[in-house]
């Protein structure tokens, strides 16, 4: 993986574990020679990932809608900052520029990005790994829900492993690097659907 899209929150929760996780992710990606593609913001976990990666000598590319630039939340010290018109364009650029997707704690926007990365993988729009860092058990309920979707039958068995979950960053990155793409829906036989 040369670049990873990092999905995370723009908030700074009171518990320092989340901001510390963001800093560790940015630093470790840079140390491993993996560039960061992210939402282009300077606030919260987003800013912490970017600042830590930059401080460790890493490449950081921000993709931000014009409306957020106008709201003065853009990070102006990145390797590159690309302004787009819409959130849809932003997510497409994440996919275009990245070799994988790494989600760390965040809120609604982070969930939107994660679900789209999983959905696009399932359909075959990309074959890149989708990782979820379950820092401090933040995503325990989400992982249980993904298991529930699989158990009920809304998530096909051959697609359950699209989401690579781990609570340890280096192990997660190693698993993402070893990811073998699954058979997407567009290439499945009719009886498999």
Tally of CB atoms within 10 A around 81: 16
Q: Is residue 190 part of a domain?
A: no
- Whole-angstrom CA distances from 153 to 19, 146, 149, 182, 183 are 36, 11, 6, 17, 17
Q: Is residue 191 part of a domain?
A: no
Q: Is residue 69 part of a domain?
A: yes
Judged by average pLDDT, the poorest of 33-37, 106-110, 121-125, 161-165 is 121-125
pLDDT at residue 80 tops 70: yes
Residues 8-60 pLDDT 10s: 999 999 999 999 999 999 999 999 999 999 999 999 999 999 999 999 999 99
Domains identified in the chain, total number: 1
Please give the model's pTM, rounded to 2 decimal places.
Answer: 0.94
Domain range for 159: 3-179
d(CA 81, CA 170): 27
Do residues 164 and 132 make contact, with C-beta atoms less than 8 angstroms apart?
yes
Q: How high is the mean pLDDT of the chain? A: 95
- Give the distance, in angstroms, between the CA of residue 36 and the centroid of all CA atoms in the same chain: 10
Average pLDDT over residues 77-88: 97
Of 163, 174, 80, give the one whose Cα is nearest residue 121.
Answer: 163
d(CA 101, CA 173): 10
Q: Is residue 192 part of a domain?
A: no
Structure confidence at residue 128 as a pLDDT band (50, 70, 90): very high
- The pair of structure tokens assigned to 53 is 């990666």
pLDDT at residue 87 tops 70: yes
């Amino acid at each position: 993986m040369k670049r990873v899209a990092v999905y995370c929150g723009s908030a700074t929760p009171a518990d320092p574990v989340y901001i510390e996780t963001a800093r560790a992710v940015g630093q470790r990606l840079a140390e491993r020679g993996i560039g960061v593609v992210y939402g282009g913001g300077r606030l919260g976990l987003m800013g912490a990932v970017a600042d830590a990666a930059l401080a460790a000598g890493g490449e950081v590319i921000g993709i931000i809608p014009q409306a957020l630039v106008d709201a003065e939340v853009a990070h102006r010290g990145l390797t590159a900052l690309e302004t787009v018109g819409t959130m849809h364009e932003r997510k497409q650029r994440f996919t275009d520029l990245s070799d994988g997707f790494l989600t760390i704690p965040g809120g609604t926007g982070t969930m939107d990005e994660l679900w789209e990365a999983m959905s696009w993988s399932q359909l075959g729009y990309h074959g890149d790994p989708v990782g979820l860092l379950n820092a401090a058990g933040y995503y325990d309920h989400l992982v249980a829900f993904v298991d529930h979707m699989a158990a009920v039958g809304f998530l096909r068995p051959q697609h359950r492993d699209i989401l690579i979950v781990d609570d340890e960053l280096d192990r997660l990155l190693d698993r993402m690097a070893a990811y073998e793409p699954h058979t997407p829906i567009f290439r499945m036989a009719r009886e498999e659907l």
